[in-house]
Structure 1
Amino acid sequence: MKHRGRHRRRRRGRALRATLAGTALALTAAATLISTSQAAGGDNPGGLTRVTAAAETAKFRLHEDLTDRSALDTLTRATGGGVGVHDVLASADRVMRNRPECDAAETAALPVKPSASRAYCWDQEDATTAQWLPRSVTTSGDADDHGRWGGDRVILSGWTHNDGDLAEPVSDQGLARVAFVDANDPANLSYRWALLVAPRAGGRDFTAVRTGMSGMVWFQDKLYVTDRDSLLVFDLRRILRANMDSPVIGRTEGGYSAHGYQFVLPEVGSYRLTGGPCSMADDRAVPCFSALSLDRTSTPPSLVAGEWFRPGSTGSPARVWRYAFSTLPGHRGLLATDTHGDVRADEAYRTDATGVQGVLSYRRGGAARPDWYVDRAPTAGGRHGTLWRQNTSGAKAAVCSADESHACWGRHTASLSYWQGTGELWTLTEGATSGDTAQGAAGAAGGRVLYAVPLHSVDDALE
């Protein structure tokens, strides 16, 4: 009897060990599947969750601070008078390459599905520099519902200095510039740079504006740029010309210099988050601005914003939200404020998508609520990103390979801008220098491309 009992105990022991081994294998396989899914652009973020609690929506509140008009007028007179967008375009000194002229790394950065309807690559010097990072895009399709500024079709691209390059001088850190792209002839794009500056000394001088420029929107005559815990505002009717060519930024003996740039765009105001320092680690804290776009399908038009959390981070749903533009006389292109100069978010949502590089809101005719398009960076380096269309019911993205990968969007994309007149969604790729983070890192440049995809093609490609 004891002998048979020992055999039964051994058989039970072997069965238990086999069961545990099988469970371990299953768990390992599941973990591998999850990891593969995430690396392949899976990990569906699901539907948006509305943020309604007053304590939460208060964290999006802004306060308006406009630059003294007399200081702006003084600076304009001191620099010889303002110039227009057309003047900057007419002096374009760099030519963009059409898609057939782009190299292999640049074409490889284009989306897999849907395919780009138009694609351009930068002048070779800008395409390969490790000193600067392309971060944002907006167009004259945002500025005016006719799609032109004056008689020109224009694309603006915001670039920030790559502070990860330790060989660069401290004085260059954080510098921000905008490419004014002449898009009148789709087959021949050219551009000119303008440096972002801020008036000082009552308008008798100016200094550099230092910002990451991860989001940018052109509405009417105002240009909005993200600066972590605030939005900086510039006036496209107040572009100024530097008359000295030196590394200095501001007033010099004999005139004004802008680090070698011929044109400067002075800051005319800002909107700062009122809740204190923002956090890029806590989705319940004051958000840090990352993505920015314009929604012309809302009434009135609205400014759409999003925050950044590292791709694959857990427990930190990103938030997306909007502010209405003012309809009051004398407040052209500015946000709607209350009697205290505060701006409140019209609506806000949480998305389980992390690594949000771009956000767009679009309401189709008759729809109760808009769809939100979220450009999500991959969790694995070197892969394509994913463009999700989200609403409160769920999320969808294109599938572009046999393993059902959603990694179909561009590689290292940043910023989204919808040109309503043409129905095109514009974006750009930061290139290999950017890595997979919103902040950028030093390294070899390459793979930078500006491209457009019809929004209906994005919807047609959804799973």
Structure 2
Amino acid sequence: MKHRGRHRRRRRGRALRAFLAGTALALTATATLISASQATVTDSPGALERLTSSAESRPLRLTEELEPQASLDRLAKEMGRPVGVTTVLESADRGLRDAIDCTAAERRSLPVAPVATSAYCWNTDDTRGWQAGAITTSGDADDDGRWGANRVILSGWTRSGGPAADRGLARVAFVDANDPGNLTYTWVLLVVPVDGGRDYRPLTSHVSGMVWYQGKLLVTADDGDSNALYVYDMARIQRTTVTGDAVGRVRGGWSAHGYRFAMPAVGSYRMAGGADAPHPGSVSLDRSTAPDSLVAGEWTLDGGDRRARLWRYSFSPGDDRAGLLATDASGHVDADEVYGTKAAEVRGVLSYRSAWYVSRTADGARDGRGTLWRQDEDGAKAAQCGAEETHRCWSGQTESLSYWESTGEVWTQSGRVLFALPLASIEKSLGEELERQ
């Protein structure tokens, strides 16, 4: 039985890859029809410019502010002993649809080139009124690609519809990815302790960036919460006791907008530049540096008068600060390197070795497609597709990119579609000269 199960999974994998390849061919045909009526767009952002002046790097300085231990202990005492990732996964009772079961409209969110090798769709009734955002995985958390015995994907969402009081709520889907043919998940609401740990409030922010590193989850914050990054502890997830729309302490116990779990922040990183500081629009993990680093990208409007910045911070090498950024004696975190890019409307950002991968939004594009650029200090290149060889071959709204180094896959999501493809296929789509680098 064990061997027959393995053969079934292999046959299913081959059938799925063939299906996704066929989808890509159909999308390519559509791109050909669209691009044939448009002029070729040469919108290359060019080479990255290394920025070395203090005027460029000083506003990127972070100040670490950790929640007092007494506050976290009080909350845990009131709510009950915290649980970890394994316990949350045991409650996963919702399922993602495989690519074959996605609608044609959903599959149009997939890139034309390079081709996705895995794809799943979220259910409409579970995501209506919510906006998809950041992605991170157990491939970020640990170099063996697992958290304990589990392969896990975390998917961030922000409440964008419904009652005004609910807008801006941030939640994370904990996806059990142990069986590629049966991805299941459950929701955890992101919250922030208040009143010395006697209560909590919702994190109100668009979740466009998220990195799970070692035992911590770092989440970008904007809009209602002005800190640059919030920090969560994967071993400090709290069970709720009341099912209701409220968030926090309520009559009879604790509520988290109807979800069974709430995750209280254990700290934050505030941008030193204040209200005018460039908040990270997207973040990801780079394991090719020593030490490992958090990379960030700044979102700017198309046609703006200055370059967007890409930069990185080092993670702390100390065991007593696992998952936190490296600070100086004053609790400050300075950017290790800063680059300028002419790529406007940057969404996802990823760095590996000497290359930076930047996804650009599809806003204003008639074909609804975005672009994935590979940039370094020598130049930029993107895949081409369609009769006019447009660079708009990527998915339109990928706000986050996450590299699962142990498998070689890049994971992202666009709308209700979660998908992955090998980093090697991205390189290959750019030409042999880049593939050899």
The code of the aligned residue for 2:371 comes to T
Q: Does 1:177 align with 2:171?
A: yes
Task: Report 1:303-452 matches (<5 A).
Answer: 303-310=294-301, 312-363=302-353, 370-381=354-365, 382-430=367-415, 448-452=416-420
Counterpart secondary structure, 2:403? strand
In structure 1, distance between residues paired with 2:313 and 2:344: 22
Q: Match for residue 102 of structure 2? A: 102
Uncovered stretches (5+) of structure 1, i.e. residues with no partner: 1-32, 279-285, 364-369, 431-447
In structure 1, distance between residues paired with 2:348 and 2:236: 28
Task: Report 1:26-65 matches (<5 A).
Answer: 36=38, 42-65=42-65
Decide whether the 8 Å contact of 1:42 with 1:407 is kept in 2: no
For residue 72 of structure 1, report the CA deviation from its aligned partner: 0.7
RMSD: 1.5
For residue 246 of structure 1, report the CA deviation from its aligned partner: 1.4
* Structure 2 residue corresponding to 1:261, chosen from 228, 241, 259: 259
- Structure 1 window deviating more from structure 2 (132-141 vs 80-89): it is 80-89
Where does structure 1 differ by over 3 angstroms across 4 or more consecutive aligned residues? none
* Partner deviation per Cα, 1:385-435 (whole Å, 9 max, x = no partner): 1110000110010011120101111122220000000000011003xxxxx
Q: Match for residue 297 of structure 1? A: 288
The code of the aligned residue for 1:423 comes to G
Decide whether the 8 Å contact of 1:234 with 1:268 is kept in 2: yes
Q: Does 1:224 align with 2:214?
A: no
- Structure 1 window deviating more from structure 2 (203-212 vs 417-426): it is 203-212
Task: Report 1:152-301 matches (<5 A).
Answer: 152-162=150-160, 165=161, 168-228=162-222, 229-278=227-276, 286-301=277-292
The code of the aligned residue for 1:82 comes to P
Counterpart secondary structure, 1:309? coil
In structure 2, distance between residues paired with 1:314 and 1:359: 19
**Bigger radius of gyration:** 1
TM-score (norm 1): 0.82
In structure 1, distance between residues paired with 2:196 and 2:278: 32
In structure 2, distance between residues paired with 1:188 and 1:414: 25
* Structure 2 residue corresponding to 1:456, chosen from 404, 424, 435: 424
The code of the aligned residue for 2:251 comes to E
In structure 1, distance between residues paired with 2:183 and 2:144: 20
Counterpart secondary structure, 2:218? strand
Question: Residues 322, 257 of structure 1: CA spacing in aligned structure 2 closer, same or farther, 3 A cutoff?
Answer: same
In structure 2, distance between residues paired with 1:110 and 1:154: 22
For residue 36 of structure 1, report the CA deviation from its aligned partner: 4.7
Counterpart secondary structure, 1:413? coil
In structure 2, distance between residues paired with 1:207 and 1:41: 46
Counterpart secondary structure, 2:343? coil
Decide whether the 8 Å contact of 1:316 with 1:354 is kept in 2: no
Counterpart secondary structure, 1:75? helix
Uncovered stretches (5+) of structure 2, i.e. residues with no partner: 1-34, 432-437
TM-score (norm 2): 0.87
In structure 2, distance between residues paired with 1:133 and 1:88: 22
Question: Residues 246, 379 of structure 1: CA spacing in aligned structure 2 closer, same or farther, 3 A cutoff?
Answer: closer
Q: Match for residue 113 of structure 1? A: 113
Decide whether the 8 Å contact of 1:41 with 1:385 is kept in 2: no
For residue 289 of structure 1, report the CA deviation from its aligned partner: 1.5
Counterpart secondary structure, 1:298? coil
* Partner deviation per Cα, 1:10-57 (whole Å, 9 max, x = no partner): xxxxxxxxxxxxxxxxxxxxxxx9x955xx764000000001001211
Counterpart secondary structure, 2:321? coil
The code of the aligned residue for 1:294 comes to L
The code of the aligned residue for 1:454 comes to P
In structure 2, distance between residues paired with 1:36 and 1:223: 43
For residue 259 of structure 1, report the CA deviation from its aligned partner: 1.2
